[in-house]
Chains A and B, each alone.
Chain A
Amino acid sequence: MTTRIDTRFAELKKQGRAAFVTYVMAGDPDPATSLEIVKALSKSGSDVIELGIPFTDPMADGPSIQAAGLRALKVGMTLKKTLELVRDFRKDDNATPLVLMGYYNPIYIYGVDRFLADAKSSGVDGLIIVDLPPEEDDELCIPALKAGLNFIRLATPTTDDKRLPAVLANTSGFVYYVSIAGITGAAAADANVVGDAVARIKRHTGLPICVGFGIRTPEAARAIAEKADGSVVGTALVDALKNSLDSEGRATAKTVNAVAELTAALAQGVRAAKQAAE
């Protein structure tokens, strides 16, 4: 089965450039503004969108994304409303791949089968679930693949050559390489070190490899895009959003633009990258 993710990476390969992948939290700072932000991401040059599912206890996220999740929960965001947001986004955009990223508990409580059916019909293309390693593939990964969704796995600096085959076995869409051992928003990894890691993973898989964690500027996004098939930016966008809010944490007239402008600048950085020799 070909998803929007597969189609998009095939197009990018033809164009000879890396993907620009963005992350924002669903419902941050409120559901209506969040929908406008997601639309702005795709219009400003994001090739793939990761949409965070808010969770009270995001144990792999740094302070920025923790706060974004709490802002969303405070205005009543739920997994159900996250799926509604995707459905609304799909009314105008049937091409941009959309990946839900988060933690397992909200999905487990929603009910795995019901979630997969609703996610598919809403227009979700893939899932990144941080706390489901291959050891727990029976929970969601295998059912998701059967339902026609991509299950995108994180590979990390601690995933050695012995373990990589297990991590990649049921991965589809792309591989998300976490450039550092750490939480989101932490310091960036050196592009050359990342290049070596990407080359190492490429020896095990033909899937595109996108790199995230610690990429904040157009220059950094470009440097990574020269070493990998995609640059992922999350915390920097979430920070731009947060800095546009009023003192009560509510959206202002500047909010959507603040995210859109940074997205456009980052997208330019990625597009300026010289594609690594295959």
Chain B
Amino acid sequence: MNIAKPNSYRSGPDERGHFGIFGGRFVAETLMPLILDLEKAYTAAKADPAFQAEMNGYLKTYVGRPSPLYFAERLTEHLGGAKIYLKREELNHTGSHKVNNVLGQIMLARRMGKKRIIAETGAGQHGVATATLCARFGLECVVYMGAVDVERQQPNVLRMELLGATVVPVQSGTRTLKDAMNEALRDWVTNVHNTFYCIGTVAGPHPYPTLVRDFQSIIGIETKAQMQEVEGRLPDSLVACIGGGSNAMGLFHPFLDDPTVEIFGVEAAGHGLTQLHAASIAGGRPGVLHGNRTYLLMNEDGQIQDAHSISAGLDYPGIGPEHSWLHEVGRVTYLSATDDEALAALQLLTRLEGIIPALEPAHAIAKVMELAPKRPRDHLMVINLSGRGDKDVPQVGEILKGKSK
């Protein structure tokens, strides 16, 4: 495809929320006025030093930022190539990067006077982060979660309930993340007068992909400064897993205009790209769903297809629109890792570094196992360790027991 290279990869979206042909505002009229209000509120908040100062305060003392940049010495030795650093987002309060975005959106909701917060969740990490901040600020919280995910992510369901959230198991469609998002949108249309929809990833109608990216960019901003401090220079490559793509966008965005930095996003290849998977860029094409145009898994009639991934957080048939654009302009390389590769990577990191990663970033580690050995020892590679694996321990335990039989 012939697409002109932009002067900057960081200037999007345009005023209508487009990244190239991707993005936009494909929502029902009922929601449109609120989306325009949200855009206004966000623009005002960004320009307000008090908003940033308040957020920085909570990021430091409540979330626990900055998250460390950790040199994974034994993983580096084992793979025998690039020098591997882990950006420890799993050490944040609530156990993943999700809290960075939720904090920002909850503070926006407060500015807009909204008292009821709804969210969709796949693995439950976004749901837990939302339930946590709703508890902290005394807001009503309703989380939509596919019934299949409720089953496989029980620890997070219990956490959300303990935090006072109502978890609604979604029985429609494939009963996973996409259906949870449909149901959250239906709730929003119905309760638009008092409800703020806290979207968990860099997708949905404009301005969500932008504001979620901005709130997550702290990951990349910190990484840049920390790498400067320990190595005195930029990293040579970045690797992150992608469902909707918020942890990846948070790490990537501050580096997009640094041409020496290679960037890799890792989608979930499920059982393999010729079978059931969740790799929208590898196996999909541009379409319109959930408020934006982006790469989607669908059939020839435009019907959305079932995604599959061992990781509930990556089990989504779409990807954030800015990723679709970064793919088409060639700035980011999108790879994919299968269920089995992720499972092996989870075990490897756990045994070598004493860090149990969530199944989601295990996909990124799986590709690092291929990328790192091919690179020289002075190559600096950063993996976004976006979440911890505690929530996955019961599921992984079951699978490994099954495999050893």
Chain A residues engaging chain B, CB cutoff 8 angstroms: 54-63, 66, 73, 78-80, 103-110, 130-136, 153-160, 163, 167, 178, 181-183, 186
Contacts and interface: CB of A to CB of B under 8 A. Distances in A.
A135 B182 CA distance: 21
B24 A60 contact: no
Contacts of A163: 32-33
A106 B189 contact: no
Contacts of A57: 173, 178-179, 182, 289-290, 304
A234 to B, nearest CB: 15
A107 B302 contact: yes
B30 to A, nearest CB: 4
Contacts of A178: 29-30
A54 B304 CA distance: 11
B289 A105 contact: yes
Contact of B288 (A63, A80, A104, A160): A104
B28 A110 contact: no
A108 B30 contact: no
B192 A181 contact: yes
Contacts of B173: 56-57
Contact of B190 (A79, A110, A135, A186): A186
A181 B189 contact: yes
A59 B29 CA distance: 12
A107 B138 CA distance: 43
Interface in B261-291: 287-291
A135 B32 contact: yes
12 contacts: A61-B186, A79-B301, A105-B296, A105-B298, A106-B301, A110-B301, A131-B28, A131-B291, A135-B16, A158-B30, A158-B32, A181-B193
B370 to A, nearest CB: 34
A134 B293 CA distance: 16
Contacts of A110: 301-302
Contacts of A103: 288
B303 A56 contact: yes
B33 A135 contact: no
A155 B29 contact: yes
A73 B399 CA distance: 34
| Interface majority SS (helix, strand, loop, mixed), chain B | mixed
Interface string B16-58: 1000000011111111111000000000000000000000000
B28 A59 contact: yes
A181 B190 contact: yes
Nearest to B25: A135
A105 B288 CA distance: 5
Given A108-B302, A136-B24, A186-B190, A159 B287 contact: no
B190 to A, nearest CB: 4
Interface string B160-179: 00000000000011000011
A106 B186 contact: no
Given A60-B28, A105-B289, A131-B26, A158 B182 contact: no
Given A135-B16, A156-B30, A109 B302 contact: yes
Contacts of B178: 57
Contact of B27 (A61, A106, A131, A159): A131
B231 interface: no
A63 B172 contact: yes
Main secondary structure of the interface of A (DSSP, over half): loop
Contacts of A61: 186
Given A104-B26, A105-B289, A108-B288, A182 B301 contact: no
Contacts of A78: 301
A144 to B, nearest CB: 16
B246 to A, nearest CB: 21
A183 B192 CA distance: 12
Contacts of B287: 105, 108-109
B311 to A, nearest CB: 21
B300 interface: yes
Given A78-B301, A105-B298, 12 more contacts: A57-B290, A60-B28, A60-B189, A109-B301, A110-B301, A133-B28, A158-B32, A181-B191, A182-B30, A182-B189, A183-B189, A183-B190
A158 B192 contact: yes
A80 B303 CA distance: 13
A69 B300 CA distance: 17
A130 B31 CA distance: 11
A108 B193 CA distance: 31
Contact of B26 (A62, A132, A134, A182): A132
Contacts of A157: 30
Contacts of B191: 181
Nearest to A178: B30
B358 interface: no
B30 A80 contact: no
B185 interface: yes
Nearest to B291: A131
Contacts of B186: 59-62, 183
Contacts of A54: 303
A63 B170 CA distance: 12
B60 to A, nearest CB: 38
A116 to B, nearest CB: 15
Contacts of A183: 186, 189-190
B118 to A, nearest CB: 13
A93 to B, nearest CB: 26
A68 to B, nearest CB: 13
B332 to A, nearest CB: 24
Nearest to A58: B182
Nearest to A182: B190
Contacts of B29: 133, 153-156, 158-159, 167, 178
Given A55-B303, A181-B192, A183-B189, A131 B30 contact: no
A132 B293 CA distance: 12
A160 B32 CA distance: 11
Contacts of A156: 28-30
Nearest to A166: B32
A85 to B, nearest CB: 14
A130 B290 CA distance: 12
B355 to A, nearest CB: 37
B67 to A, nearest CB: 35
Given A106-B303, A109-B301, A136 B33 contact: no
